[in-house]
Amino acid sequence: MNSASGLQHIAACPGSAALARAGHVTRAADKGTAGHEHMRMRAELGVDDAVAQLDELFARYDLDEQDAHWLKRRLMRFEWSPPVGAVCETSLCLMHDGSVRRVEGGQGSYPDLPAGAVLPGQIDLMWAEPAPLVWDMGEERPACPENSVLWVADYKFGQDRYVHTVERNLQTTAYTVMAAKWTGAKLAVPAIIYPGPGDGEWDTLAAPWGEKQLAEADLRVASVLAEVEVQKLAAAEGRALRLVEGRHCEFCEAQSWCPAKTALLKTVVSGEAAPLGEAPLTEAEAAYWVTQLRLLNGIAPRVTAALKAYVEATGPIDLGDGVVWGPVEERKSIIVAEQAREVLEDELGEHARSAMQVKVTKTAIDDAIRVKHAEEGIKKQKAATMRRIMARLGEEGALVHEPRVEWKAHRPKKAEPEQQLEEAS
């Protein structure tokens, strides 16, 4: 069954809801899950105890040195903690009759859902202000006090360009609808929290949703779920699915079965009509297309050149939701080999030679550290050694920063007030 976390994707491509799916595990997902777990521990144990258990938490999710260092640095700089009385990691399910029930599971897996279940989802955090949520003796759910506002928050540890803004985010919309029904709240605010320095970055609304806005949000969720049923019926009857390709395809778990991705490939090989429903490639079809990669790779640079020419003539290509494709200038650290030599030889000895290529790279230094530490029996010090080397390279003038232009999907940065005045003049 589809969950609230996939609602945005389903709205963009309704037909994907009727296809089989393949789960996958990624480093980014593991970091995000560990970050969510830490925030739950903050609410239940307090900040100090949660921080004290960070290393144990990272080990439990098998984060490597680099990922553990990145996440620890981000969490340690995040000073905000859930308020007293907040309810964390709560799995709720929207039922066919419009009611909401608490269920078991989370993170996309919800075993043993009750009959009539329509949409399960795990809410990261909810709390009420100014009066907190109230748990009555014997009740299975908290009540939102009269005149209090229910906050429904979702933590995000990835980049904001992959997340729809809160006004258009169907995941947080569904969470807010379910939480309001579950607690009886008449006022509610959806929020997306990006943990970072201080209070982090918050994407939220200027004013709470009242009963009218909550009803409209409920209708938006219901319309997506109704389309899901239409697509499932189409699949059962062998009719074409409503598939929409776009940048959301990058994270789609149904790609292997999606006819929008594979039907053309299958048709070219077999000469038969394109399949309408699930269309996984066969081993023979996959082997055929492997042999065609050289041709396709030769075409790609020509397509890229044509797109660059288009952007230079007409401006960045609008991909929707504030994301454009075009040139973006970024700063890249360049290690100057001659100035770096003394630092690397002092730190790495004979292993410095392997890092001293025509152009010194972080990857080469990382490899040299790994080999040196393996020979010397040093464990869990690679990240610390890399940080020390990079700091010394900066002190010795061996680290310079130069702008570079990359062509990719990105969310343009807002101009500073001074820059806006200059452009206006």
Query: Tell me: the pLDDT tens digits for 370-422?
Result: 889 888 888 878 888 988 998 889 888 888 777 777 777 677 876 655 555 55
Task: Tell me the pTM.
Answer: 0.68
pLDDT score of 188 more than 50:
yes
pLDDT score of 425 more than 50:
no
C-alpha 190/C-alpha 209 separation (Å) is: 8
State the fold for domain 4-227: Lambda Exonuclease; Chain A (3.90.320)
C-alpha 63/C-alpha 269 separation (Å) is: 42
Q: Is 150 exposed, middle or buried (0-12, 13-18, 19+ CB in 10 A)?
A: buried
Q: What ranges do the domains of the chain cover?
A: 4-227, 258-291, 315-425
pLDDT tier for residue 101 given thresholds of 50, 70 and 90? very high
CA within 13 Å, CB half, 25: 5
C-alpha 201/C-alpha 195 separation (Å) is: 7
Nearest Cα neighbor of 2 from 137, 153, 170 is 170
What is residue 355's predicted lDDT score, i.e. its pLDDT? 74
pLDDT score of 243 more than 70:
yes
Of the chain, the percentage scoring pLDDT greater than 70 comes to 94
The DSSP output letter for 164 is -
- The first and second tokens of residue 261, run together, are 């991705």
What is residue 419's predicted lDDT score, i.e. its pLDDT? 53
What is residue 270's predicted lDDT score, i.e. its pLDDT? 85
How do residues 75-99 score in pLDDT, each as one tens digit? 999 999 888 889 999 999 999 999 9
What is residue 137's predicted lDDT score, i.e. its pLDDT? 66
Do 153 and 160 meet the contact criterion of CB atoms below 8 Å apart? no
Q: What is the mean pLDDT of the chain?
A: 87
Do 244 and 255 meet the contact criterion of CB atoms below 8 Å apart? no
How do residues 228-237 score in pLDDT, each as one tens digit? 999 999 999 9
What is residue 8's predicted lDDT score, i.e. its pLDDT? 93
Q: Provide mean pLDDT across the span 28-39.
A: 87
What is residue 106's predicted lDDT score, i.e. its pLDDT? 80
Q: Provide mean pLDDT across the span 51-63.
A: 91
Q: Provide mean pLDDT across the span 257-266.
A: 86
Regarding beta strands 399-410 and 188-194, do their DSSP bridges make them parallel or antiparallel, or are they unpaired?
Answer: unpaired
Q: Provide mean pLDDT across the span 23-51.
A: 84
Number of neighbouring beta carbons within 10 Å of residue 355: 27
| Residue whose tokens read 């040139």 | 327
What is residue 415's predicted lDDT score, i.e. its pLDDT? 62
**Exposure pattern of 220-244 as b/e (b: 16+ CB <10 Å)?**
bbeebbebbeebeebbeeeeebebe
pLDDT tier for residue 144 given thresholds of 50, 70 and 90? very high
Q: Provide mean pLDDT across the span 111-126.
A: 93
pLDDT score of 359 more than 80:
no
User: Which of 112-126, 158-172, 332-346, 390-404 shows the highest mean pLDDT?
Assistant: 112-126
Please give the residue that has the higher pLDDT: either 324 or 358.
324
Please give the residue that has the higher pLDDT: either 402 or 132.
132
Of the chain, the percentage scoring pLDDT greater than 90 comes to 44
pLDDT score of 202 more than 60:
yes
